Amino acid sequence: MKVTSKIKTYEYGVVSDVLEKKDELFSTLSYDRLFYFVDQNFYNLYKEKLDKFIGDDFLLCIEADERNKEYTKLSEYYQGLIDARFTRKDMLVTFGGGVLQDLSGFIASTLYRGIKWVFFPTTLLAQADSCIGSKTSINFGDSKNLIGSFYPPDQIFIDATFTKTLTDADFNSGLGEIIKFHILLDRKQYGMLLQYLEEGNLRSNRYFDQIVASTLNIKKWYFEQDEFDTGVRNLLNYGHCFGHALESATNFATTHGEAVIVGMGFANLLALRRGIMSQSVYSELEEILQHFYPHFDLSKVSVDKLIHYLKKDKKRIGKDLTMIMGSDVGNFSKYDDVQEEEIKDTYKEFLLGYPGQ
C-alpha cells in the first residue's frame, strides 16, 4: 500500500520469507551499495540467513536498548557509515524494531541532509504501528524521544513470521498499540479487536493478519489527516503520556507497548474520576487491559518521579500536565489542564486495582 507523505510517498507491503527474496525485493530500488543496521538479537536468531542476505556489505549490529537511542551514541553510527564511505547514492537498510527504526530514521534524515532508507520491521509493535508515520525519535538525557524529525523509509517490507520468535513481553508490547488503535477509532474496529482477542492463540490465530493490517490502516488514516502531529494525530498519544513517564521512571524496565497499556488504564481512571468516562465504559475497557498489564511492582514507582517525567512530555503546552482521555470507544480528546494533585490521587486508586499489588 502507498502512504502519501509531504516528504516522500512510500510503500509498505507484507511479504513472506523476505530473507530469501533479496533480489526480488530490491529490484525496483535504485542504489550503488547497501549498508545494514541490524538488531543484535534478530541477527543472533537469523544469523545464517542474514549473512547470506548481507554478504560482504557493511553491517552494524546494535542492541535494541533505549540507551542506544541516546544522542551521545549517534556519533558512533554516523562515524561507521562515513568511515565506510557511504554516499548519497548508497542506501541504508534496517532490520529491527522501534529502537533501530528511530535511530536509523533520524540518521537517514540528517546524514547528507537525507539518504535512501529501507526498513524491515521485525517486532509486532514496529510491524503494526511505528513502521508508518514518519516519526524518528532520539532520547536526550533522562527524557524519551525528545529530539526527532519526520522522515519515512523509501520502502517497508513486513514479514509476519518474525513475530513468532518474539519474547512474550515484546509480543505484548505490540498488542498494546493494537489495542490502543482499535479503541481510538470506532466501535466497528473495536469489534474486530474483540473478535481477535477472544479467539485465543494471539500469535497465530485466524484473525492475526487481519488485525495487523487493520492497525496499519488506522495508523495510515491518522497520519494522512495530520502528518506533522499538530491536530488529530495527537490522539494517538492515548496511553503514551503516562506510558512514556513510566518508561523513564523505571529506566525502561517495561517494554514501550506494555507501558502504553498501563498508560491507557491510568488515563481511563483519570477520565472516570473527572466524569468524562462512564463506569460502564471504564469497566469494559479495564476488563481487556487487565489481561495485558505487565507484571512488576508498580507500587515501587513513586508518583513524584512520574510527575517529574510528565512535566517533560513534549506534548505539554502550558503549566499543567497533558493527558489523552475519552468518554467512549472512538471519542477521545486531548486535555492540557491536568493537575499534579489529580495525578497523585488517581495513582493511589490505580495501584489498588493493579494486578499483584
Please tell me the predicted confidence (pLDDT) of residue 226.
86
Q: Are residues 160 and 174 in the same domain?
A: no
Helical residues (DSSP H) of 127-167, grouped into ranges:
none
Across the range 253-262, mean pLDDT stands at 95
Q: Which three cell numbers stand for residue 122?
A: 521485525
Whose cell is 512530555? That residue is: 313
In DSSP terms, which residues pair with 324 in a beta bridge?
A: 334
261-285 pLDDT tens trace? 999 999 999 999 999 999 999 999 9
Q: How far apart are the first and last CA of the chain?
A: 44
Please tell me the predicted confidence (pLDDT) of residue 4.
83
97-126 pLDDT tens trace? 999 999 999 999 999 999 999 999 999 999
- What is the count of structural domains for the chain? 2
Contacts of 72 (CB under 8 A, 6+ apart): none
5-62 pLDDT tens trace? 888 889 998 899 999 999 999 999 999 999 999 999 999 999 999 999 999 999 999 9
Q: Are residues 231 and 281 in the same domain?
A: yes
180-217 pLDDT tens trace? 999 999 999 999 999 999 998 999 899 998 999 999 99
Q: Are residues 298 and 329 in the same domain?
A: yes
HSE at residue 206, side-chain half, CA atoms within 13 A, is: 3
CA dihedral 7, 147, 126, 118 (to 10 degrees): 50
Does this model's pTM top 0.75? My answer is yes
Please tell me the predicted confidence (pLDDT) of residue 80.
97
Q: Are residues 192 and 282 in the same domain?
A: yes
* Residue range(s) defining the domain that contains residue 140: 2-165
Q: Is residue 1 very low, low, confident or very high in pLDDT (cuts 50, 70, 90)?
A: confident
Q: Are residues 195 and 132 in the same domain?
A: no
Domain stop point among 123, 141, 165 = 165
Q: Are residues 241 and 196 in the same domain?
A: yes
CA 164 – CA 166 distance, rounded (Å): 6
CA 206 – CA 355 distance, rounded (Å): 29
146-190 pLDDT tens trace? 899 999 999 999 999 999 999 999 999 999 999 999 999 999 999
DSSP labels, 43-85: HHHSHHHHHHHHTTSEEEEE---GGGGBGGGHHHHHHHHHHTT
Q: Are residues 303 and 184 in the same domain?
A: yes
Q: Is residue 314 very low, low, confident or very high in pLDDT (cuts 50, 70, 90)?
A: confident
Domain CATH code at residue 81: 3.40.50.1970
Domain CATH code at residue 280: 1.20.1090.10
120-129 pLDDT tens trace? 999 999 999 9
Q: Are residues 60 and 102 in the same domain?
A: yes
Q: Are 242 and 263 in contact (CB under 8 A)?
A: yes
